[in-house]
Amino acid sequence: MSDTIKYLLDEQDLPKSWYNINADLPVPLDPVLHPGTKEPITPDDLAPIFPRAVIEQEMSAEREIEIPGPVRDVLRQWRPSPLFRARRLERALGTPARIYYKYEGVSPAGSHKPNTAIPQAFYNKEEGVKRITTETGAGQWGSSLALAGNFFGLEIIVFMVKVSYFQKPYRRAFMEAFGAQCIPSPSDQTASGRAILAEHPDSNGSLGIAISEAVEMAVQRDDTKYALGSVLNHVLLHQTVTGQESMKQLEMAGDWPDLVIGCTGGGSNFAGLAFPFLGKQLREGGNIQFIAVEPSACPTLTKGKFAYDFGDTAHLTPLVKMYTLGSSFMPPGFHAGGLRYHGMAPQISHLTKHGYIAPRAYSQLDTFAAGVRFAKAEGIIPAPEANHAVCAALEEAEKCRESGEAKTILFNLCGHGHFDMPAYMDFMAGKLQELTYDESEIAMALSGLPCGFD
């Protein structure tokens, strides 16, 4: 038998708590700063945009944070998600490596994003919030919050990055089917959007701009909060169900990873898979290599600076110490819309800076070529974001073929590509563009960093 193997867990193996890597960091994180005073922020500073329970998690140093019962009740519709051993792919590559992928495309929104959308909607509902605003890139996060808002009876308003809004009309339809409102960003609904439009009427938009619009709208209304789909610690820890489940599934397989790989836009799917393994390694030692993969056209970890920066373009958010390309950097309009972000989760940035995570960047064409090879072997068409993780996994498996090493590779297949077929159509027709940034644009964006950089 040499076919792909599925490792499933029982429902009682759905994790009962989230893992918070803040408890295990070898060097403390730099504090988050108030954008006005540049003093460390307090929970009260965040109260206008997040519910109290979320703020507590954001600042918590507890290693384990209990998952509320009603959140687990929703998650268990599709969780624990399967872990697959990609035996057909291994055979196709002729590699001695053992390749495992955690498959998050089984969620109703087709990605890992509901793992945090469900708890965020729950906490908002518990605290009497009526409406949540958010941004979305490729639409996976917007779809997931639309779904979660629908389950918990909340109104959802999604600012969708304009280039993705037009590239992925099915995603917008998905959000609307669940009753959410989806607005292309930059829009004329907010001062931040209007300011961008005045200067760049044809702006593609960016996650940084869309965040500004969503935050601005949230702070202006008493019954409205904002939700973020990545970057912040509460999001990262909500995603650790994937890593915790994978640990148990690898135990079932009698295996343990040499490499853990995920794509990184804001960092949540990578962190969700990697942090439970990395935390254990920080506490107990170990030899796992952690590889964060980003697009070479938005090379935050590989070409950015480790510095204080804003999370958004209009500078409405607190200042966080992270790898950044500068908050005014506009990534080109490649299809992995979820990775078009100038910054990176502070925890990932910090652990990269200190050598615990190895970043890597691939071009759009290489990632799509990897995605098609994966699909032909495993039958699943990955989301363009996930293709970045696939690309690194293939490269590592091919290195094993050369060296003869039988490494164990684990990666996060964080979503399926059903809503991204036009990108595959372009790729197969030879029409997909290789996109890159202008060095001078990054230099200019970095020159505007609020606290400079080393």
Binding footprint of a copy of itself, residue count (CB under 8 A): 45
Among residues 57, 7, 390, the alpha carbon closest in space to that of 46 is found at 57
Question: β-strands 98-103, 408-413: how paired?
Answer: parallel
- Sheet containing 83-85: give its strands across: 5-7, 83-85, 98-103, 408-413, 259-263, 289-295, 358-362
Widest distance between CA atoms in the chain: 63
- Specify the residue, 79 or 234, whose C-beta has the smaller distance to a copy of itself: 79
Residue 419 interacting with a copy of itself (CB under 8 A): yes
Query: Hey, which residues between 316 and 375 contact a copy of itself (CB under 8 A)?
Result: 372, 375
16: number of Cβ within 10 Å:
12
Residues in contact with 198: Cβ distance below 8 Å, sequence separation at least 6, in sequence order: none
Segment interacting with a copy of itself, rule: CB under 8 A, options 70-78, 159-167, 228-236, 286-294: 70-78
Please check whether residue 159 is in contact with residue 134, taking contact to mean a CB–CB distance below 8 angstroms: yes
Residue 151 interacting with a copy of itself (CB under 8 A): yes
**Calpha distance 136→266 (Å, rounded):** 12
CB of 123 to a copy of itself, least distance (A): 17
Q: Binding a copy of itself by CB under 8 A: which of 78, 166, 256, 453?
A: 78
Residue 153 interacting with a copy of itself (CB under 8 A): no
Residue 71 token pair: 């959140």
Q: Binding a copy of itself by CB under 8 A: which of 252, 406, 421, 451?
A: 421
Query: Hey, which residues between 88 and 127 contact a copy of itself (CB under 8 A)?
Result: 88, 106, 108-110
Q: Binding a copy of itself by CB under 8 A: which of 152, 226, 290, 424?
A: 424
CA angle 431-397-323, nearest 5°?
A: 70
Please check whether residue 118 is in contact with residue 14, taking contact to mean a CB–CB distance below 8 angstroms: no
Q: What are phi and psi of 320, to 5 degrees?
A: -125, 150
Q: Binding a copy of itself by CB under 8 A: which of 38, 283, 354, 376?
A: 376
CB of 281 to a copy of itself, least distance (A): 31
Residue 1 interacting with a copy of itself (CB under 8 A): yes
CB of 338 to a copy of itself, least distance (A): 17
- Specify the residue, 148 or 232, whose C-beta has the smaller distance to a copy of itself: 148
Peptide bond into 80 cis (omega under 30): yes
**Calpha distance 52→48 (Å, rounded):** 10
**Calpha distance 296→291 (Å, rounded):** 15
**Calpha distance 351→270 (Å, rounded):** 12
At position 123, the amino acid (one-letter code) is Y
Please check whether residue 341 is in contact with residue 300, taking contact to mean a CB–CB distance below 8 angstroms: yes
- Specify the residue, 238 or 321, whose C-beta has the smaller distance to a copy of itself: 238
CB of 274 to a copy of itself, least distance (A): 25
Q: Binding a copy of itself by CB under 8 A: which of 406, 428, 444, 451?
A: 428
Residue 176 interacting with a copy of itself (CB under 8 A): yes
Any idea of the CA torsion for 328, 332, 333, 334, to the nearest 10 degrees? Answer: -130
- Specify the residue, 13 or 56, whose C-beta has the smaller distance to a copy of itself: 13
- Specify the residue, 360 or 416, whose C-beta has the smaller distance to a copy of itself: 416
Residue 165 interacting with a copy of itself (CB under 8 A): no
Among residues 266, 293, 269, the alpha carbon closest in space to that of 211 is found at 266
- Specify the residue, 275 or 419, whose C-beta has the smaller distance to a copy of itself: 419
- Specify the residue, 106 or 288, whose C-beta has the smaller distance to a copy of itself: 106
Segment interacting with a copy of itself, rule: CB under 8 A, options 54-62, 69-77, 206-214, 336-344: 69-77
Segment interacting with a copy of itself, rule: CB under 8 A, options 197-205, 249-257, 354-362, 416-424: 416-424
Peptide bond into 28 cis (omega under 30): no
Note the residues at the interface with a copy of itself (CB under 8 A): 1, 3-4, 6, 8, 10-11, 69-70, 73-74, 76-78, 84, 88, 106, 108-110, 147, 150-151, 169-170, 173-174, 176-179, 372, 375-376, 378-381, 418-419, 421-422, 424-425, 428
